[in-house]
Structure 1
Amino acid sequence: MAEKLYYQDQYLQTFNTELVEEKQDETGQWYAILKETAFYPEGGGQPFDTGTLNGVKVVNVVEMDGEIRHYLERPLSLSDANVEGKIDWERRFDHMQQHAAQHILSAAFDNLFRFKTVSFHLGREESTIDLDTNVLQETHIHDAEELSNRIVMENRQIETRWVTPEEAAALPLRKALSVEDNIRLVIIPDYDYNGCGGTHPATTNEVGMIKVLGIEKEKKKVRVSFAAGKRAYSHFDKKQKVLERLSPLLNAPQENMESAVLKLLQTKTQLEKELTDTKDMLIGFEARELLSKHTDTEKPLTALYTGRTIQELQRLGRAIVSEKEDSVAVLISETDGKIQIVCAKGVIAAGNIKELLSGVLPLVNGKGGGNELFAQGGGQAVISAEDLQEKVLEIWLSR
């Protein structure tokens, strides 16, 4: 196993070492084995480090089969016995901030409410912890967040310590250890004692602000999303800019935006209702107008349209047969090479509308359905709407 320099100095950004071996895995990907490394391999919820080895990009780092594999974008030169490694420091320090923030936030929920953290995920933009509780109130979040940021501002030491099982047993560990040897603890004295193999800053102040971003129920647990440090600033900055843009649009200061939005939504709902009522009124006028012009009661009332939606045709068809219960209506609309058909029949009119539609749909390679009083469908405009209208009348009269 390579010597793990990230445990000796988590701030080490460059290092020189020897190439022990370079080979391909079963998928053909090249990886390098080094005598020592500052690259952290993925584990314990913390992602792997990236960077370069002699200028070649390191795209993944895993610890397996007793070795740390540095997966490379391409193989190193055969003459590369000596290797210079460079860590992507921005990525590493971000991971250190988020991981330490998780310890602090998890300890806050545990210390205040005995809500245990059962899993942790460090994502690209935000991280999550799953708490062993099915209830998490706003006061829980507020108090845990407040305590967490107080610990940050107190600039406490974050210590790491290798201990024996007996030494670990004498400490107030937040959760049971997952290993029985090579036990490494991350400790914030008088606050949190936890087994962990990840990298963390030396002090809590370096974690920066910790902000809970949201919660969601996850089976019998609650998932808490959070961000810390630069990520928390980025979230705040984006939201602040959104608020600054919304304030003049809503004609309200930020503290009154909620009431302004609620008022806007209420107005929108009222306007939508008024619009629907107006459309219904117009549909009724249109239905009566069509009925007044339809004089041949032996034939269905038919009407052709361009660009009319199936929903509008349905409402018009229902309005027609509601207005005149012995009427039959067939409405056809052609749009962008497609044909929509709605057939409606009043409750005292003769015939079966579903059978009529079934006879029409094959003419347009269409599909549809309904019942004897109301049916709809659509297909391709392989024949014109006018020709389809004539076919409708033929089928109805020949029934």
Structure 2
Amino acid sequence: MKDRLYYQDAYVKTFTAEVTKRGVEENGTPYVVLSQTAFYPTGGGQPSDHGHLGETRVIDVEEVDGEVRHRLASPIPEEMVQLEGSIDWERRFDHMQQHAGQHILSASFLEVVGAETVAFHLGKERVTIDVRLDELTPEVWEAVEQRANQIVLENRPISARFVDDEELATLPLKKQPTVTENIRVVIIPDFDYNPCGGTHPAHTGEVGMIKILGWERHRGNIRLEFICGWRALRDYTRKQAMVREVSKLLMTSDAELIAQAERLVAERDTMKQSLLEKERQLLEVEVRQYLAQADQLGGVRLLEIAFSDRSIQQLQQFAHQAVAQAPDVVCLLAATGEKLQLVFARGAEVDVAVNQLIKDTLPLIDGKGGGNAAMAQGGGQPNRPVHEVLDHAKQLLKAALS
């Protein structure tokens, strides 16, 4: 492990190394192997480092068959055998903050409620851990978060070293290692002893604030989303700006923001109900006007109407209102647009199964639909004039009434 500079010192940002191997991955991506490297390869839930070898961008790093492959944006010229490497420090330190934060948060869950962490993922924006818990109450959430941040503020040292079997047996490990050789343990004294191959800061204070953002149930466990350090500060800054903008829009203070929002929601709901009632009244009048001019067909009143600006839900509302006002009516309604929508309905005094009418009409427009004998609906392609489709249904109705 002497060629892995990130294990010797996680703060190494630049280094010099010789190219010991060149290659190309199956997807065509060039890579090099170096005599030593400060680039951390993907592993243990932590993404790889990025950076440069000379002027060439390192876009991914992975250990394959015991060698660390530095995948490149472009090939390095053959004549270049010694390279200056530099890692993207902002990315590396962010990963150090988040990974150490995960150790602290997981140890806090274990200490506060005896819940072990069974999975960890360090994402580009958020970090998640899966904790073996049946439920997560606000009281537990707050207690764990407070304990984690207490460890941060105490600025305890974080050390990491490779141990032999004899020393390993003396350590109070939180979990057993997944490898049998080159076992490395990350230690926060009197708090956390964890087998881990990732990079970490030297003190807990460098992790910065640990903030849990939310949680959900996942495969019988609790999956928590959290962020640390600079991520947490950026998130707080963004959300504070949002609070200021919303407060300005609502012309209220931060302290009154929730109460003002609740008042607006209540007003919106009242206005929505009032609008729905007005729309119902207008629809009632509209239907009454149509019924007054309805044609007669086989002893029933027929409303055969094509609309150009209504949804199928609005057609259904029209039909419901019509059959409520006139038990002797049959509605053959259509709405044109990207699809041709149909709603057929009949009043209680009409002995016609409109679901059969629509079933025999929908093939004209390659449509699908369904319903019952009193009301049915469907839609299809506007490949025929709407009057032709409704006239077809009208002829079917005429035959059914005779």
SS at structure 1 position matched to 2:62:
strand
Please give the alpha-carbon distance, in whole angstroms, between the structure 1 residues aligned to 2:2 and 2:147.
39
1:120/1:128 contact within 8 Å kept: yes
1:165/1:180 contact within 8 Å kept: no
Residue segments in structure 2 that go unaligned for 5+ positions in a row: none
Deviates more, 1:20-29 or 1:241-250: 20-29
Residue 279 of structure 2: aligned partner = 279
Please give the alpha-carbon distance, in whole angstroms, between the structure 1 residues aligned to 2:74 and 2:100.
33
SS at structure 2 position matched to 1:348:
coil
Residue 181 of structure 1: aligned partner = 181
Residue 306 of structure 1: aligned partner = 308
Deviates more, 1:338-347 or 1:6-15: 338-347
Residue 331 of structure 1: aligned partner = 333
Please give the alpha-carbon distance, in whole angstroms, between the structure 1 residues aligned to 2:355 and 2:160.
77
Residue 268 of structure 1: aligned partner = 268
Letter in 2 for 1:367: K
Residue 343 of structure 2: aligned partner = 342
Using the size of structure 1 for normalisation, the TM-score is: 0.94
Residue 319 of structure 1: aligned partner = 321
Please give the alpha-carbon distance, in whole angstroms, between the structure 2 residues aligned to 1:368 and 1:182.
65
Query: What RMSD, in angstroms, separates the aligned Cα atoms of the two structures?
Result: 1.9
Residue 35 of structure 1: aligned partner = 35
**1:372 Cα shift?**
2.2
Residue 13 of structure 1: aligned partner = 13
2:134/2:222 contact within 8 Å kept: yes
Please give the alpha-carbon distance, in whole angstroms, between the structure 2 residues aligned to 1:186 and 1:31.
30
**1:128 Cα shift?**
1.0
Please give the alpha-carbon distance, in whole angstroms, between the structure 2 residues aligned to 1:174 and 1:295.
82
2:297/2:398 contact within 8 Å kept: no
Residue 397 of structure 1: aligned partner = 398
Please give the alpha-carbon distance, in whole angstroms, between the structure 2 residues aligned to 1:350 and 1:71.
75
Residue 360 of structure 1: aligned partner = 361
1:61/1:68 contact within 8 Å kept: yes
1:143-292 paired onto structure 2 within 5 Å: 143-292=143-292
**1:27 Cα shift?**
3.8
2:2/2:8 contact within 8 Å kept: no
Deviates more, 1:178-187 or 1:227-236: 178-187
- Identical positions, percent: 41
Letter in 1 for 2:67: E
Deviates more, 1:238-247 or 1:342-351: 342-351
**1:2 Cα shift?**
7.1
Letter in 2 for 1:395: L
Letter in 1 for 2:9: D
1:42/1:62 contact within 8 Å kept: yes
Letter in 2 for 1:275: L
The alpha-carbon distance between structure 1 residues 382 and 222, as it changes in their structure 2 partners (threshold 3 A), is closer
SS at structure 1 position matched to 2:173:
coil
CA deviation vs aligned residue, 1:33-92 (integer Å, no higher than 9, x gap): 111010101111111111111211111111121211111122211101111111011110
**1:295 Cα shift?**
5.0
**1:379 Cα shift?**
2.9
SS at structure 2 position matched to 1:118:
strand
Deviates more, 1:382-391 or 1:214-223: 382-391
Residue 78 of structure 1: aligned partner = 78
Please give the alpha-carbon distance, in whole angstroms, between the structure 2 residues aligned to 1:378 and 1:183.
65
Residue segments in structure 1 that go unaligned for 5+ positions in a row: none
Letter in 1 for 2:181: D
1:376 paired to 2:377? yes
Please give the alpha-carbon distance, in whole angstroms, between the structure 2 residues aligned to 1:387 and 1:162.
82
The alpha-carbon distance between structure 1 residues 375 and 7, as it changes in their structure 2 partners (threshold 3 A), is same
**1:297 Cα shift?**
4.6
Letter in 1 for 2:258: E
Letter in 1 for 2:333: L
**1:206 Cα shift?**
1.2
Deviates more, 1:314-323 or 1:19-28: 19-28
2:15/2:84 contact within 8 Å kept: yes
The alpha-carbon distance between structure 1 residues 177 and 382, as it changes in their structure 2 partners (threshold 3 A), is closer
SS at structure 1 position matched to 2:44:
coil
Please give the alpha-carbon distance, in whole angstroms, between the structure 2 residues aligned to 1:60 and 1:41.
8
The alpha-carbon distance between structure 1 residues 271 and 37, as it changes in their structure 2 partners (threshold 3 A), is same
1:60 paired to 2:64? no
CA deviation vs aligned residue, 1:119-169 (integer Å, no higher than 9, x gap): 111110110111111122112221222222222222221112222222122
SS at structure 2 position matched to 1:37:
coil
2:306/2:386 contact within 8 Å kept: yes
Number of aligned residue pairs: 398
Letter in 1 for 2:75: P
